Amino acid sequence: MTGGVEAGEGGASAEGRASSEARVAVVTGAGRGIGRAVAVMLAAQGVDVVAVDLGLDGAEETAALVRNHGRRAIALKADVALDPDVEALFAAVREEFGRLDILVNNAGITRDALLAKLTEHDWDLVVDVNLKSVFLCCRHAVALLRESGEGRIVNLSSATGQMGNVGQVNYAAAKAGVIGVTKTLGKELARWNITVNAVAPGFIETAMTEAVPEKVRTMLLESVPLRRAGSPDDVANAVCFLASDAAAYVTGQVLAVNGGMYV
Ligand code: NAP
Residue-level pLDDT, tens digit, the chain, 263 residues? 344 567 775 443 334 334 458 999 999 999 999 999 999 999 999 999 999 999 999 999 999 999 999 999 999 999 999 999 999 999 999 999 999 999 999 999 999 999 999 999 999 999 999 999 999 999 999 999 999 999 999 999 999 999 999 999 999 999 999 999 999 999 999 999 999 999 999 999 999 999 899 999 999 999 999 999 999 999 999 999 999 999 999 999 999 999 999 77
Can you tell me the distance from the alpha carbon of 257 to that of 157, in angstroms, rounded to the nearest whole number? 10
CA–centroid distance, residue 79 to ligand 1 (Å): 12
CA–centroid distance, residue 49 to ligand 1 (Å): 17
Per-residue confidence (pLDDT) for residue 3, from 0 to 100: 46
Per-residue confidence (pLDDT) for residue 17, from 0 to 100: 36
Asked whether 198 lines ligand 1 (CB < 6 A), one says: no
> Residue 249, Cβ neighbours under 10 Å: how many?
6
Do 151 and 102 meet the contact criterion of CB atoms below 8 Å apart? yes
> Does residue 171 carry a catalytic annotation?
yes
Asked whether 127 lines ligand 1 (CB < 6 A), one says: no
Rg (CA), the chain: 17
203 φ, ψ (degrees, to nearest 5)? -95, 110
- Answer whether 0.85 is exceeded by the pTM: yes
Give burial (CB, 10 Å; 0-12/13-18/19+) of 36: buried
Domains of the chain: 6-254 (3.40.50.720)
Can you tell me the distance from the alpha carbon of 134 to that of 111, in angstroms, rounded to the nearest whole number? 18
Do 38 and 236 meet the contact criterion of CB atoms below 8 Å apart? yes
Ligand 1 atom nearest residue 81's Cα: 18
Long-range contacts of 90-97 (CB under 8 A, 24+ apart): 90/26, 90/137, 90/140, 90/141, 90/144, 92/5, 92/7, 92/12, 92/50, 93/24, 93/26, 93/50, 93/144, 94/144, 95/12, 96/11, 96/12, 96/13, 96/50, 97/20, 97/24, 97/48, 97/50, 97/72
Q: Which of 28, 80, 134, 171 is catalytic?
A: 171
Q: Where are the alpha helices (DSSP H) in 118-246?
A: 120-127, 133-148, 159-163, 169-188, 207-210, 214-222, 232-242
CA–centroid distance, residue 107 to ligand 1 (Å): 5
Per-residue confidence (pLDDT) for residue 4, from 0 to 100: 58
Per-residue confidence (pLDDT) for residue 9, from 0 to 100: 54
Do 73 and 126 meet the contact criterion of CB atoms below 8 Å apart? no
CA–centroid distance, residue 29 to ligand 1 (Å): 6
Give me the amino acid identity at 11: G
Asked whether 34 lines ligand 1 (CB < 6 A), one says: yes
Asked whether 35 lines ligand 1 (CB < 6 A), one says: yes
Give me the amino acid identity at 120: E
Three-state DSSP class for residue 59:
helix
